[in-house]
A and B are shown apart, each in its own frame.
Chain A
């Protein structure tokens, strides 16, 4: 019995090593975040504390918005159901910590893509779902119609922990205007303070200004000035270190944009399976093996289009029809004069 003990031990050890090795490679392919998400049965998504058009909850607790739709698309792709998302409302200050600490798996919260955020703090930006720029809102009664009319001593309300705070300084410095920055932690408080007359101007991304204007006591009393003082490409963010998950989120967003490009909508997606165009067939899962690369089935993108819709549908439903920004501006497809251009899904 003891004669073979040595051999037996080495055999067990070898099997163990092989076993670890195989599970290791499978895990690497499936991605830890993906595995956890499938195990939990929902996607953990960080959103804003209420920004109409981007991520906003109604009285019943249903979240809508184009940022929300990115998370819904991922849920449709990996879980088969766009409703299997758990939304966590986050302030600008909390958002990155929530993501890096693993409390959420996707941060889809009108977040500006910058070099330092991407490279420095353990985050990876996966794409842009809204091209924006910083603007200023003032009271109509003030008679200001352009930022060139700003004068020394102007007070500006904004959020802390945002690129807005930095752009504001660049802007006022370049114009040589002294200003008083009043920075709050929550967007609702910024709006309340500006609305009360604490500040002469309220500055944030123009889409945010348009959306917050709808929340004010009398929206018609305020105007957004025409100047755009910065580039604010907003997009979803994931934790650094899980490249498969990163790819899933990136391509869920890209699939929505490409679906619009090829005219695939939630209504006609099924019928597109018989399309002549191979690019269309790939997107609806009738050709190729695109999903396998992420460890998903082949109908991941079909589910996104059917359950969430293409980018154009999402934009119309959340931003155009709600009257926030009826004109798509730069957020129009490249084929229609905008700058939305995504790599081909093939």
Chain B
């Protein structure tokens, strides 16, 4: 009984202190807000926002609500995070493996890259890519076309827009290809387990993903044309490109700096993972007749991934949260649009900051849950 009480009392006290502290701050905020005549409430979310945003994935202008502005910011945050995570992962894996390369030049270059980019504050890197690299880009009228259709200018990257006819047929063909690939993979696995035969699954997959969509062009009536950006003069020395799709330089600079920075940490995770697999494992795999490719694919990577994934999850979370530095270079993310402009125009500091915090929390937890699920899936299952 005594022992039980001894265990419970400290916990009770901790809970009590937390509740008291939280209660004190809530009470304090309430009193102060009342004294200064500030109302609390979320009603403002449905009001007209009356400010425009530079770049949006959904239709938005100032006549939409603050809630819509919130969605614009949220989607922009997700967009830059997803782009950043994809690039950082690819780059991180390549650099991580390169650091273990027996080629002196390659591994030293990879080591230099990691040490250089992870030791400079991210905000400085963002400023560098945006202000220093941006200044070096040409004005729209001076830009040379890359491959005849891309234009990288100080005002952004202009790329041709796709104009589809019968887009749905094309999408169906891709879905059909994916289903076919899954079916073939399952079949190939069965074949190997029962008869020991191996199918060239990779080449079959590549073939399917090209041939089916190609058929949709030849027989399904799908047509694709491009709308190439065209230079338009606004004034004597000011030009833009019209038509096509324009990616703002803010997005490019932010995605670039986030992925270059985070890739260094992922590279180290990958290196640690590969080095964490015992040498004996590789030797054993080689001795039963697997070729080097199979050794990496079937023996080393499955074990390395278990070491790589948990710390890499942290890097994904960091990247997502670091994307809030966007405000410094005018990329309209959640912090700039909602916790910046909307907060200033409404003055609803507590409401907006709490929504923003809750949103980042939700984003981070979703990434965590997904990565934990993936980690569990690849973990060794004891039989």
Instruction: List the interface of chain A (C-beta within 8 A of B).
Output: 92-93, 96-97, 100, 116-117, 120-122, 138-139, 141-144, 149-151, 153-155, 157, 160-162, 165-166, 168-169, 173, 179-186, 189, 192-193, 196-198, 200, 239-241
Stretch at the interface among B48-56, B89-97, B283-291, B303-311: B48-56
9 chain-A/chain-B pairs, Cβ below 8 angstroms: A122-B347, A150-B234, A154-B238, A165-B345, A181-B52, A184-B330, A196-B135, A200-B238, A240-B37
Asked if A153 meets B237 with Cβ closer than 8 Å, knowing A120-B347, A121-B347, A240-B36, the reply is no
Residue in B35, B36, B139, B336 with the greatest tally of chain A CB atoms within 10 Å: B36
Asked if B236 is at the interface (CB within 8 A of a chain A CB), the reply is yes
Q: A161-B341, A196-B134, A197-B154 are in contact. Are A96 and B237 (CB under 8 A)?
A: no
A183 touches B54 (CB 8 A): yes
Which applies to chain A's interface (DSSP): helix, strand, loop or mixed? mixed
Most chain A CB atoms below 10 A, which of B50, B336, B340? B340
User: Is B343 an interface residue when CB atoms closer than 8 A count as contact?
Assistant: yes
For B50, list chain A residues within 8 Å (CB). 166, 169
| A143 contacts across to B, CB distance below 8 A | 235-237
Tell me, rounded to whole Å, the shortest Cβ–Cβ distance linking A22 to chain B.
Answer: 22
Nearest neighbor of B127 in chain A, beta-carbon distance: A189
Which residues of chain B have C-beta atoms less than 8 A from A122's C-beta?
33, 36-38, 347
Complex contacts, A189 vs chain B, CB 8 Å? 131, 328-330
Contact B328 A160 (CB under 8 A): no
Q: How far is the CA of A181 from the CA of B53 in the complex (A)?
A: 6
State how many residues of chain B have any CB contact under 8 Å with chain A.
Answer: 44
B332 within 8 A of A: yes
| B376 contacts chain A at the CB level, 8 A cutoff | no
B145 close to chain A: CB less than 8 A: no
Pair A161/B250 contact, Cβ less than 8 Å = no
Which residues of A lie under 8 Å from residue B134 when comparing CB positions? 193, 196, 198
Using known A-B contacts A165-B341, A185-B340, A189-B330, determine if residue A142 contacts B36 with beta carbons closer than 8 Å. no
**Which of B38, B242, B345 is close to A153, meaning CB atoms less than 8 Å apart?**
B242
Cβ distance B214 to chain A, nearest Cβ, rounded Å: 37
Q: Is the CB of B36 within 8 A of A100?
A: yes
**CB distance A182 to B330 under 8 Å?**
yes
How far, in whole Å, are A157 and B54 apart by their CA atoms in the complex? Answer: 10
- Chain B residues 299 to 354 lying within 8 A of chain A, measured CB to CB, are 327-330, 332, 336, 340-341, 343-347, 349
What are the residues of chain A within 8 A of B139 when measuring CB–CB?
Answer: 197
Cβ–Cβ < 8 Å partners of A153 in chain B: 232, 234, 240, 242
Pairwise interchain contact A185-B336, C-beta atoms closer than 8 A: yes
A170 CB to closest chain B CB (Å) equals 8
**B235–A198 contact, CB under 8 A?**
no
Contact A169 B38 (CB under 8 A): no
Give the contacting residue for A141; candidates B236, B336, B340, B343; CB below 8 A.
B236
Known: A161-B343, A183-B332, A185-B336. A139 touches B54 (CB 8 A): no
Q: Which residue on chain B has the smallest CB distance to residue A100? A: B36
**B347 x A96 contact (CB < 8 A):** yes
Interface presence of B220 (CB below 8 A):
no
Distance A145 CA – B84 CA, assembled complex (angstroms): 42
Please indicate the chain A residues that have their CB under 8 angstroms from the CB of B327 in the complex.
160, 185
Residue of A nearest to B33 (CB): A122
Q: Contacts of A186 on B, CB cut-off 8 Å?
A: 328
List residues of chain B with CB under 8 Å of any chain A CB: 33, 35-39, 50-54, 61-62, 131, 134-135, 139, 154-155, 232, 234-238, 240, 242, 248-250, 327-330, 332, 336, 340-341, 343-347, 349
A189 to chain B, nearest CB (A): 7
A207 to B232 Cα, complex, angstroms: 32
Contact B343 A93 (CB under 8 A): yes
Q: How far, in Å, is A93 (CB) from chain B's closest CB?
A: 5
Cα–Cα distance between A259 and B54 once the two chains are bound (Å): 47
The closest CB in chain B to the CB of A153 belongs to: B240
Report the minimum CB–CB distance from A137 to chain B (whole Å).
Answer: 13
Contact A185 B328 (CB under 8 A): yes
Known: A142-B237, A183-B54. Contact between A162 and B36, CB under 8 A?
no
- CA distance in complex: A160, B328 (Å): 11
With both chains docked as a complex, state the minimum distance between the C-beta of B278 and any C-beta of chain A, in angstroms.
50
Q: Output the nearest chain B residue to A97 by Cβ-Cβ distance.
A: B349
A residues less than 8 Å from B330 (CB atoms): 157, 182-185, 189, 193
Give the chain A neighbours of B250 by CB distance below 8 A: 182
Closest Cβ of chain B: how far from A49's Cβ, in Å?
13
**Bound: A200/B340 CA distance, A:** 24
Q: Hey, which chain A residues are within 8 Å of B344, CB to CB?
A: 92-93, 96, 160-162
Report the Cα distance A96→B340, complex, angstroms.
12
- 5 further A-B pairs in the complex, CB-CB below 8 A; given A138-B235, A166-B345: A122-B33, A141-B237, A149-B235, A151-B234, A181-B51
Q: Across the two chains, which residue of chain B brings its CB closest to A157?
A: B330
Residue pair A142, B235 in contact (C-beta under 8 Å): yes
Q: What residues of B have a CB within 8 angstroms of the CB of A239 in the complex?
A: 36
Residues from chain A with a CB closer than 8 A to the CB of B53 are: 181
Bound Cα distance from A239 to B36, whole angstroms: 7
| Cβ-defined contact, A160 with B236, below 8 A | no
* CB of B231 to closest CB in A, whole Å: 11
User: Whole-angstrom distance from the CB of B198 to the nearest CB of chain A?
Assistant: 55
With a cutoff of 8 Å between Cβ atoms, the chain B residues found around residue A149 in the complex are 235
Would you give the shortest CB distance from B257 to chain A, in whole angstroms?
Answer: 15
* Chain B residues in 8 Å Cβ range of A240: 36-37
Nearest chain A CB to B152 CB, angstrom units:
14
Q: List the 10 shortest-distance A-B pairs measured between CB atoms, nearest first.
A: A121-B347, A161-B344, A122-B36, A143-B236, A142-B235, A122-B38, A141-B237, A200-B238, A184-B330, A153-B240
A241 to B38, CA, bound (A): 11
